Amino acid sequence: MAFKTRITEMLGIEHPIVQGGMQGVGLAELASAVSNAGGLGTLTALTQPSPKALSEEIERCKSMTSKPFAVNITVLPTILPPDYKGYAQAAIDAGIKIIETAGTQEVREIWEMVKPHGITVLHKCTAVRHALSAERAGCDIISIDGFECAGHPGEDDIPGLILIPSAADKVKIPMLASGGIGDGRGLVAALALGAEGINMGTRFCATKEAPIHDNIKALYVQNDERGTNLIFRKFKNTARVGKNSVSDKVVEISANPDAVFEDIKPYVAGAVGREMLQSGNVDQGIFWAGMVQGLIHDIPSCQDLIDRIIGDAEAIVKQRFGGMVG
């Protein structure tokens, strides 16, 4: 059995499994491994210091896989915005055919740039209303992120079991389910809820090819489903990160009614977090992680992980469901 959906057809991939773009993690080593295993790998544009560096990383990824892969461009509120259009142009010039986007309203300028070049736009949303807005604006695929996800789950706190079918009831373009998915059970559940594939971030961090320190990978295995902290809640920019001494400290400081962002800024700096991914010092900064940590028990290759997910999903559909329907 193979799971063929509009997602596999549109993206030209074997399995309906997409690796989300992750800051500091979406490099050629991981993206090519996911694509070679039959999924869709993703390079994270803002992991690169410049559009020129992204161009070089795209070429490096092309040398490691002949399969399709995407480029993620996430537009976030920041004091000194990166050259988002420069990154988009680098992807266009390199012949990239799939762009994953996320973030604020300004992301629409990226859509307007890439659409005339026949690029498929996959947009991540945390609410049904945002998904419908992206669909109206011409996006091709929606990735709907439940509250369980790592990164920014939005402010509505709607978990995937409700959010995915609620979106599927209204969104007509294909949807990926994201947040809390890490095995074959999650794939089957996502398909049953109305999605046509899955997007995984945290689970791909705990693979052999993920370009992060083994100490960080070990944290994903050690932490259970309670092993995350929600930070930035009071600033209306909620983020789910892995539980460690630093994120515990951020939660503690934030509990003070008079706390301001400057009080936690030294602990949550992106540069420190990215350095932590390489140094392996688990108490150096914060790291992105979802509740799916409770389902992560090993660090396989991307090929073994995707093969296992598909194999387990097939067994559930044939054996478990087959025996239930009489």
pLDDT for 221 equals 97
Q: What is the mean pLDDT of the chain?
A: 94
Angstrom distance (rounded) from CA 47 to CA 72 = 10
Contact 204, 210 (CB under 8 A): yes
Q: Please name which of 141, 97, 93, 135 lies closest in space to residue 115, comparing C-alpha atoms.
A: 97
| HSE (side-chain half, CA atoms, 13 Å) at 150 | 28
Average pLDDT over residues 136-155: 95
Which pLDDT band holds residue 184 (cuts at 50, 70, 90)? very high
Look up tokens 């515990």; give the residue: 248
Question: Is residue 323 over pLDDT 80?
Answer: no
Please list, in sequence order, all residues whose beta carbon lies within 8 angstroms of the beta carbon of residue 177, skipping any fewer than 6 positions away.
Answer: 143, 144, 146, 160, 164, 186, 189, 190, 193, 195, 197, 198, 199
* Edge-to-edge order in the sheet of strand 120-125: 17-19, 198-200, 175-178, 141-145, 120-125, 98-103, 69-75, 41-44
Q: What's the gap between Cα 298 and its chain centre?
A: 19
Average pLDDT over residues 114-141: 97
Look up tokens 């093969």; give the residue: 307
pTM over 0.75: yes
165-175 pLDDT tens trace? 999 999 999 99
Burial of 319 (0-12, 13-18, 19+ CB in 10 A): exposed
302-315 and 28-36 helices, crossing angle to 10°: 40
Domains with residue ranges and CATH for the chain: 6-209+301-324 (3.20.20.70), 214-291 (no CATH)
Average pLDDT over residues 219-226: 96
pLDDT for 247 equals 94
pLDDT for 1 equals 65
pLDDT for 234 equals 85
Supply the DSSP symbol for 284: S
